Amino acid sequence: MKNMFNFIKNHKKNLYYVIGVLILIAGAMFFFSNQKTSDETITIKRSLFVNQVSVSGKVETESGAQLGFAASGRIDRIFVKNNDSVKAGQILAQLEITDLLADLKIKEIGSKTSNISLEDARQNVEKVTAQENTKVESAYRALLTEDLELVPDSNNYVATPPNISGIYDGGEGTYKINIEKENVTIDDFTLRTFNLEKTDRLINEKGPTLLGTKGLYIDFEDDLEEYHDTTWYLDIPNKSGASYLANYNAYNEAKNERNLAIKNAEFEYQKLLTEKNNGSSSVADAEIEKIRAEIKKNTIYAPFDGIVTNIEKEIGEIASTNEPLITIMSSGTFEIESFVPEVNIALIKLYDEARVTLDAYGEDVLFNAKVISIDPAETIKDGISTYKIKLQFNQEDSRIKSGMTANVSIIIFEKPDVIVVPGGVIFLQDGKNFVQVKNDKLITNREVILGDVSSLGQVEIVSGLEEGDKVVLNPLVSLAE
């Protein structure tokens, strides 16, 4: 024991070195034993790359209004009830106006004679306008309908081009038409249209088949088997048709004639109106207009098409000036109001498409909408800078109700068949982007070229990776440096 103490005393300095080295080794073993392995990988495959901004909002009508009288008085008549549909300009309610109506009748009888010619002139303006608009519309339909010809997608088709008939009642553009036999065991052929409108219907083998929904028909000269898996294009109007130039000139001439005829009719009306206002009847007419204005103040009109949602009073009650009496909501297309955080607003632009689900129907029922407005000024919501946006549903749907909670995914871009990886697998080395690829047990760095980045941190790889490559999820720093 004494010899051992003497040994430690004589070799004390060296012993400290040995203990220090052992501590370093133990620490290193502990450190590396706690490092995450880089063996976990993802296998690269091509997929749809979608970048979207998700927000929530409330469904609301395009417009709503609380309506009241511009004068005070006793309510004489209410013409509607809750949940009634109303049209713009429809009378909804009136105060007692018996005296006003009597005064109006007396004044109108006094000026009736002088008003006859003026009223005839006004009606003539409306008549001429309607007649000339009909002529212009007829010329335009002829321009769009005549000489319509189907153009084959391929010069190798042996089938005779189908014939087009009917009167077209739509806008200008191009139909893409596809003809297919859905099943070799069934004789039915399907006609599909795209571009101008999207339709899908079975072909009538015994006569013309409706093409789209705008008044055109298509029929086939050859056996339908000859048209299987063919695609055709229909330009409306057919600018290369023999009658196009003549129809185009006729359309322009009809518009010029319309403008001249309406101008002449309005001139005659304004001439009589000026003569009347400068004559003795101008005072009587002013009194009539004053009475009519009073009647309007005692009447509530619907400002737009909508649905009555609330009636505050009953017949016989007193209504004060501008007191809300009837509430209506627009029956038009519904909108969604939402607020986008500042970090995402730069990604969104007008008319971006969006997919919408409503809590009332669950995640499996999808609706389509588009962005129609973006507020330039911020709105603070819960201490966060946001920007109010509005989206409009693409189609009317009876299932959509005002006040419903909407979950909105605004599509920033969609790219099919691309390679996408999590942003965390990419690292920077010498100013270039790399990922680590594992082949058997060998891990190597591979340079990649990046494309778009999603709001969720997914990154498009333009080049550098192929399907089947195994990319390391947690790249080792020692390999990256």
What pLDDT score does 307 carry?
A: 85
Judge whether 306 and 329 are in contact, CB under 8 Å: yes
pLDDT in tens, 417-444: 999 999 989 999 989 999 999 998 899 9
What pLDDT score does 114 carry?
A: 57
What pLDDT score does 331 carry?
A: 66
83/233: higher pLDDT: 233
A 10 A CB-CB count for 386 gives 19
Strands 379-381, 432-439: pairing is unpaired
CA angle 177, 396, 175 (to 5 degrees): 15
DSSP calls for 103-132? HHHHHHHHHHHHHHHHHHHHHHHHHHHHHH
Q: What is the rounded CA–CA span in Å between residue 211 and residue 208? A: 9
pTM above 0.75, yes or no: no
Q: Which of 405, 403, 360, 387 is nearest to 60 (CA)?
A: 403
pLDDT in tens, 329-366: 776 678 899 999 998 898 899 889 999 999 999 999 99
Residue 480 confidence (pLDDT) above 50: no
Residue 278 confidence (pLDDT) above 70: no
Query: Which pair of tokens denotes residue 39?
Result: 């063996």
Q: Helix crossing, 282-297 with 98-145: angle to 10°?
A: 90
Q: What is the DSSP letter of 351?
A: T
Model confidence at 477, in pLDDT bands (50, 70, 90)? low
Q: What is the rounded CA–CA span in Å between residue 68 and residue 326? A: 7
Q: What is the rounded CA–CA span in Å between residue 44 and residue 470? A: 6
Region class of 390: left (phi > 0), else alpha (psi between -120 and 50), else beta: beta
Mean pLDDT of 11-35: 39
What pLDDT score does 396 carry?
A: 82
CB neighbour list of residue 218: distance below 8 Å, 6 or more residues apart: 150, 162, 163, 164, 165, 177, 191, 208, 209, 211
One-letter identity of residue 56: S
Beta bridge partners of 233: 151, 176
Q: What is the rounded CA–CA span in Å between residue 328 and residue 86? A: 9
Report H helices in 215-338: 244-277, 282-297
Count H helices, E strands: the chain? 7, 30
pLDDT in tens, 86-118: 888 899 999 998 888 888 888 777 666 556 677
Q: What is the rounded CA–CA span in Å between residue 316 and residue 335? A: 38
CB neighbour list of residue 364: distance below 8 Å, 6 or more residues apart: none
- Burial of 143 by CB count in 10 Å (0-12 exposed, 13-18 middle, 19+ buried)? buried
A 10 A CB-CB count for 411 gives 14
What pLDDT score does 111 carry?
A: 64
